[in-house]
Amino acid sequence: MLNEDDIDTEYLNKKAYRLKASTVTDAVQTYIKTRGKEKPEYLLNWMELTEKLGEYGDE
């Protein structure tokens, strides 16, 4: 199961900024805020995260 604790957001944000991929920060934060309360299965959580990454990646 993928919990918000599984993602080291400090490391993620720092590295994403350095590599000019800061949209990942917003995507993951949005994911964490909205994640799986109604659909707790990890597969669906992954799908949601990937969707968020896709949305932010398009900007």
Residues that bind another protein (CB under 8 A): 1-2, 6-8, 11-12, 15-21, 23-24, 27-28, 42-43, 46-47, 49-51, 53-54, 56-58
> Least distance to another protein from the beta carbon of 34, Å?
16
> Least distance to another protein from the beta carbon of 28, Å?
7
Q: How far apart are CA 18 and CA 39, in angstroms?
A: 33
> Least distance to another protein from the beta carbon of 31, Å?
10
Q: Which of 24, 56, 51 is nearest to 35 (CA)?
A: 51
When computed from its CA atoms, the radius of gyration of the chain, rounded to whole angstroms, is 11
